[in-house]
Amino acid sequence: MQRGRRHLLLGFILGVGLTAVASVMLAISIPLVPIERHTKETSQAEEIASIGNEPDSRRLSSDVDFETTQHPLSNNESSATRNPGQFWKRLTTDDVSDAAQAVQLIETAVAWADQKGVEILEEMHSTQMDPALRETVMRAVLARTSELGWEKGFEQIAGLAGQSREWVMEESALNWAKKEPRAALRTVSSLPDAESNRRVLQRIVALAWAEAEPQVVLDDLQAIPENLRLLIEETAILAIAEETPELAVQYMPKFSGFPQEPVLAAAIAANWAEFDPTAALAWVRSQNFSSELVRNDVTKVLLRTYAKSEPEVALQVALETPLESTNWDAVGLEADVVEVVASRDIDAAIDMLARVRPGRTTQSAYDAVGSTLVVELQDFDRAIELGEKIVQNHRSRYYNVIAVRGASRRPLSLLEHLEKFPVSSRSSAAKQLLMHNRATMALTTKQIEQAKTYLNPTDRKAIESLPQRHTFVVRSRITRDDEH
């Protein structure tokens, strides 16, 4: 697995012409520079690309297609180079979408920084434009400062004043941490006590270091500020668990009984199961966890991964795992296995239903299969038919579950199939559809009246007692796309 952050195209984020922007971004090799990563997968909005720091990064490839842009750089290159400040103002105040001329903005900003230095960042920060694009442009300038040397570049940025200062310092510190983490941490830790964001900078740099060089950090935790050591140690172990989970197990005893224990154990189990589920299972069974509850939670995570490659083995392991408690609402792990299998092989999942333990486990397993039939496969007929196999006292709950799933994700299909629900569940399904329609607005006035014909007097009264709201005959875009 590669733990490095992905390189994303600016055009993909901002919705501009892909041909032009993608070609340019690839030509100038733009790396990703997010502020801080808290999870393995960050959102696209946070992963906007920034410019590279190659000496020739302002040169464009000769075969770029500018059909979708309004200001071809070839016509304005001299203006951007001679008077970048004026050209910046022209670009940001004209009638052309900033996103459509993103490349020119980046090029102009870098040329401007070459002439005036990092002081221009504050003016850029105050420019009225899309925030995501503005940050992308400012990252281009920050990348240029690295050519001064990381420490000198950071010193210049630390000398700035204005509203952009804290954000710019955080970006610069993170960039530095990816290249020279120890030096970056030493510098930000030496900032005066009066520096309001010193602790934030320490955290950003230390986290980046722990993700990039986890073993180095674990071997030298004394280099980490004391107030951050536990967090950084956990982050480093998680990073090792992602790459080589079998090596991360050595750190588990230290966290026994602490909140970090189930988090670290689950990460080890899930990543290990991706390539060696048998070894991962053996570890979970033999590990001296602080409680059986932790073991059960980790086994659950493991089995959800295991079920993707070895569903039958995963089901057997689940059936052999005792319930968490003897309470009536305890659910066996086989329900999780069935849920995972259902999204990959619905027939195999249905065959497994007869083997799950009775009670709430059976309920949960049927709910999972029915939900998959309704939402993913759009097969209401089969989902309704499946309910006939459930014991009578669990049946109404099952039909209510698939009605809720259908009302939120497949409202039009649910409306078409209300007639096929058992009479005892038909009104409840219609009620769910009408209640969810207040949020989805997927039904027309005529369709709303059609759904109301299935309501019994009690449910009709409940629907009519809901606060009135203004409704427009506007379909939810998401719902409409889902339906088709």
pLDDT tens across 409-426, in order? Answer: 999 999 999 999 999 999
Q: What mean pLDDT value characterizes the chain?
A: 82
At residue 65, does pLDDT exceed 80?
A: no
Exposure on the CB side of residue 236, measured as CA atoms within 13 A: 22
At residue 9, does pLDDT exceed 60?
A: no
At residue 47, does pLDDT exceed 60?
A: no
pLDDT tens across 319-356, in order? Answer: 999 887 767 778 999 999 999 999 999 999 999 999 99
**DSSP code string of 456-481:** -HHHHHHHHTSPP----S---HHHHH
Q: pTM above the 0.95 mark?
A: no
Rounded mean pLDDT, 255-272? 95
pLDDT tens across 214-252, in order? Answer: 999 999 999 999 999 999 999 999 999 999 999 999 999
At residue 49, does pLDDT exceed 60?
A: no
pLDDT tens across 78-129, in order? Answer: 566 789 999 999 999 988 888 888 999 999 999 999 999 889 999 999 998 8
d(CA 52, CA 40): 23
The residue type at 420: K
Domain boundaries, the chain: 1-148, 175-243, 401-484
pLDDT for 77 equals 58
Residue for token pair 């709950």: 397
pLDDT tens across 140-150, in order? Answer: 999 988 887 89
d(CA 168, CA 175): 11
Among residues of the chain, what percentage have pLDDT more than 70?
80
pLDDT for 466 equals 86
The alpha-carbon radius of gyration of the chain (Å, integer) is: 29
pLDDT for 307 equals 96
Sign of torsion, CA 320 325 328 333? negative
Exposure on the CB side of residue 282, measured as CA atoms within 13 A: 5
Query: Checking phi first, is residue 29 left (phi over 0); if not, alpha (psi -120 to 50) or beta?
Result: left
At residue 22, does pLDDT exceed 80?
A: no
pLDDT for 392 equals 87
**Of residues 137, 147, 148, the one with CA closest to residue 112:** 137
| 42 or 230: which leads in pLDDT | 230
pLDDT for 196 equals 83
Rounded mean pLDDT, 7-15? 32
Rounded mean pLDDT, 200-224? 96
pLDDT tens across 434-479, in order? Answer: 999 999 999 999 999 999 999 999 999 999 998 866 444 444 434 4
At residue 27, does pLDDT exceed 60?
A: no
Which of 248-253's residues contact partners 24+ apart within 8 Å by CB, and which partners? 249/283, 249/287, 251/218, 252/287, 253/288
Q: Which H or E run contains 437?
A: helix 423-440
Which residues is 32 bridged to in the sheet? 49
pLDDT for 161 equals 86
pLDDT for 64 equals 30
DSSP 32: B
**DSSP code string of 314-330:** HHHHHHHSPPS-SSTT-
At residue 428, does pLDDT exceed 50?
A: yes
pLDDT for 483 equals 45
Q: State the angle between helix axes of 277-286 and 292-309 in degrees (0 to 180), rounded to the nearest 10.
A: 170
pLDDT for 97 equals 86
pLDDT for 99 equals 84
pLDDT for 38 equals 33
Rounded mean pLDDT, 38-51? 35
Confidence band, pLDDT 50/70/90 cuts, at residue 72: very low
Helix then strand count (H, E) for the chain reads 28, 0
At residue 75, does pLDDT exceed 60?
A: no
At residue 207, does pLDDT exceed 80?
A: yes
At residue 18, does pLDDT exceed 60?
A: no
At residue 61, does pLDDT exceed 50?
A: no
pLDDT for 367 equals 97
At residue 69, does pLDDT exceed 60?
A: no
Rounded mean pLDDT, 53-61? 33
Structure-token pair, residue 293: 């509850």
C-alpha 399: how far from chain center: 31
